[in-house]
Chains A and B, each alone.
Chain A
Amino acid sequence: MLPSNVRILPNGAAGDPQTVFYHRCTIDLARGAVDIRDLPCRNLEEVLGGFGRSFQYLAARDVADAFATENPMVVNTGLLTGSNVMTGLRTYFSAYSPLKVSNTGLPAAMWSAGSGKFGTKLKWAGLDELILENKADHPVIIVIRESDTGPQVELRPADHLLGKYCHEKILTLYAEYPDAHFAAIGPAGEHYNACYYAAIALSTENLLKTGDDKCRWAGRGGMGAVLGSKNVIGIVAEATDRIAKLSPETRALNKEIATGPGSRKFREKTRGGLGGTWANYEPLEQFHMVPQNNFRPTGDGKPALMFRDALEDDFVIKAESCYRCGINCHKNIYERKADGSKGAFRAKFDYEPLNLLSTNAGVHDPDEVWPLVALIDHLGMDSISCGTTINYVLDYNARHPDAPVFNGATFGDADKIRELIEQVGTGQLPDLGQGSKRLSEQLGETAYAMHCKGLELPAYVPDTNPGYPWAIAGGHMSMATYMLVAMEGNTSLDYWVQAITERGLLVVRDDLLGVCKFAGLNAEVAARCLGDEIGLHVTRAELLAAVRRAFIRALWLERKQGYTRDDYTMPAQVFDNPNPAIKAEPFVTREFFAALSDRVWEVFDREIASLPPVEDEATG
């Protein structure tokens, strides 16, 4: 029954995690030593996987510098990764982040997740988790291969990959390992010291087939920079495809995922969907909540220039997908030839990267936008952090026309923005590459630097989301409060306390399980699917309690790294200069936020204090 390497002993259940074992490989990169073993789980969070497990590993470490050798990188999967459940493709990269830092300067634990087929191949090669310790003394790739005696792991030189774009590295590796899938950093990760928001690219079948840059990304928090700091340029997971027989329950579930209400938002219009995250533009624009000119909507109607309909004449837009996924959430744009047919691939347009490199940068011509989106991907950077940091620079320069920084780029200067992207992604602009928190502190103007706790905000205005500071791994992926004002319009304190402490945090559930949020599983279905597909019988309540503990443990871990209440705040512009163009009551005042903090911490402090202790890992 099990599609994974996780072994559940007879009668094993959520109540007895010790009866569940997973396969971990630890590599000491400095010595080239490899250790593979089965480990029993200590709690349900470890059974589920993802950051539920990796953060417990990180918690046992004292790390003062994200690039120090003592910062381990945990590459792992969720219980449903590699299973037959549609979207069960996630890989998680966890480490102390160079970007997410407390005011004391200490790095905080972070994870970043991506789809593609790498995680599935990693599982099929025989591993649930890979831990990278120390640092290789020269650039290497890690090659993991299945064998009759279990996974074989070795380090190989990576000199031939250096300097190549992410997808070029992957294609080079593909020629060498045709049965494999890949994780790789780009030039940005190679220059990790000068680009803290370097990302990790994950291969898709579409990329390997077409040669186009159609990677999926573990983008947030600079995990590509940490991998680069270890001199690991790529990871190869080679295994034959091991597709288990589809059970009737999972078949029914997959049909529901591919055609039901949960994924409708992300499916194509021609398949009864709403067209993907890109389609956020229209509803948000109704409220003038589409970020413009560094998160300052103007109400001038310009966001409409990036509506999908506005681009249909000039581009062919195609919905494509990861391995065996029927949601097809990738909205890829191609040149439209004179005869109307599809020409060369241009870029993938998701709402967040698209907005941050177009409307929010004052660039409204799609022909100027797609090269920016594509270049960030080629160089291997997180488009949210890179875009938001550059937007800060554009804003700074607009405010200081007589003393601009870098190349003087300001809103709408597509050529200069392109130059900044090129330079930061190749390590030439370390001040820009350190992210908006440090840069704004250096420039002495922090009020409009759009980050919380060092992580740049995604493309949802902070004026309507006082939940941002409690996100533990990126503003929209780990605290689902970014759309609530538009959706429900409730600005009362009680509502927001509940939104953050009861509902918003549970969005991280899928970052333990190994599935995409786009599958839209509700907690009841997710719990049932663990039983049907994996044989792990948990109730909805047990699942949610484990997710909650994982979230609370992440807050505890932030505190361990020096976070105090002062770190949990918003860009000051939100408090001091509300934007009258936004069609919503400006409610995030300093007084409101202080009261909200008191109430939120009352809940979270109590739970942090009562977190069950975690025993040391079993050794031997």
Chain B
Amino acid sequence: MQRQSNAVRIRLPALFADRIDGTSTVEVTATTVADALRALTDRHAELTPLVWTGDSALNPLMILFLNNRQLVRSGLDETVHPGDQLEIIPAIEGG
């Protein structure tokens, strides 16, 4: 993992990490949540279908947490700051 200062940290569950060789944290430079996710999928194109729908909306089955706070869908426009932590979680999982 390449560490960058001023970075937003995106933490990924196994569904994502296992598709990118076990990388569970990705640091990106971004000003909004949407930017951060775009930076994530630019770097790891394999994750694009999990994050975005065909028409570039956020996958309706993904739930976002910013610094442990669940975002509503419009939260894509929220500003992020260096040191913030973003998580993207699938809404369906069985067991």
A: which residues have CB within 8 A of B? 260-262, 264-266, 272, 274, 277, 279-280, 282-284, 286, 329, 350-352, 458-460, 476-477, 482-483, 486-490, 503, 506, 516-518, 520-525, 540
Contacts and interface: CB of A to CB of B under 8 A. Distances in A.
A483 B18 contact: no
A351 B60 CA distance: 20
Given A477-B95, A486-B61, A520 B14 contact: yes
Contacts of A286: 60
Q: Which interface residue of B50, B59, B61 has the most chain A CB atoms within 10 A?
A: B61
Contacts of A284: 92
Contacts of B61: 283, 483, 486-487
A506 B93 contact: no
Contacts of B65: 261, 264, 272
B80 to A, nearest CB: 17
Nearest to B94: A476
Q: Which interface residue of A280, A460, A516, A518 has the most chain B CB atoms within 10 A?
A: A280
B94 A280 contact: yes
B59 to A, nearest CB: 7
B88 to A, nearest CB: 8
A283 B22 contact: no
B49 A524 contact: no
Contacts of B22: 522-525, 540
A273 to B, nearest CB: 9
Q: Which interface residue of A265, A517, A522, A524 has the most chain B CB atoms within 10 A?
A: A522
Given A490-B49, A524-B22, A262 B60 contact: no
A331 to B, nearest CB: 12
A277 B93 contact: yes
Interface string B18-50: 110111100000000000000000000000011
B92 A486 contact: yes
A522 B14 contact: yes
B84 to A, nearest CB: 15
B5 interface: no
Interface string B40-78: 000000000110011000011101010010100000000
Contacts of B68: 272
B92 A503 contact: no
Interface in B1-20: 11-14, 17-19
Given A283-B61, A522-B22, A265 B14 contact: no
Contacts, number: 100
A460 B94 contact: yes
B24 A525 contact: yes
Interface of B: 11-14, 17-19, 21-24, 49-50, 53-54, 59-61, 63, 65, 68, 70, 87-95
B92 A483 contact: yes
A174 B14 CA distance: 38
Interface SS majority for chain B:
loop
A554 to B, nearest CB: 20
Contacts of A459: 94
A518 B54 CA distance: 29
Contacts of A282: 91
A520 B13 contact: yes
B36 to A, nearest CB: 15
Contacts of A352: 94
B92 A261 contact: no
A487 B59 contact: yes
B89 A351 contact: no
Nearest to A259: B68
18 contacts: A261-B13, A264-B65, A265-B91, A277-B93, A280-B92, A280-B94, A282-B91, A286-B60, A350-B95, A476-B94, A477-B95, A483-B90, A483-B94, A487-B50, A524-B22, A524-B23, A524-B24, A525-B22
Given A264-B65, A520-B13, A524-B24, A351 B18 contact: no
A603 to B, nearest CB: 18
A266 B50 contact: no
Contacts of B12: 261
A346 B88 CA distance: 34
A460 B92 CA distance: 11
Q: Which interface residue of B12, B21, B63, B89 has the most chain A CB atoms within 10 A?
A: B89
B11 A261 contact: yes
Nearest to B12: A261
A279 B94 contact: no
B18 A482 contact: no
A540 B95 CA distance: 23
Contacts of A522: 13-14, 17-18, 22, 24
A525 B54 CA distance: 32
B94 A518 contact: no
B94 A264 contact: no
Contacts of B59: 487-488
B95 A277 contact: yes
B92 A487 contact: yes
Q: Which 4 A-B pairs have the closest CB atoms?
A: A524-B22, A522-B17, A283-B91, A522-B14
A280 B93 contact: yes
Contact of B18 (A264, A279, A490, A506): A506
Contacts of B93: 265-266, 277, 280, 483
Nearest to B63: A274
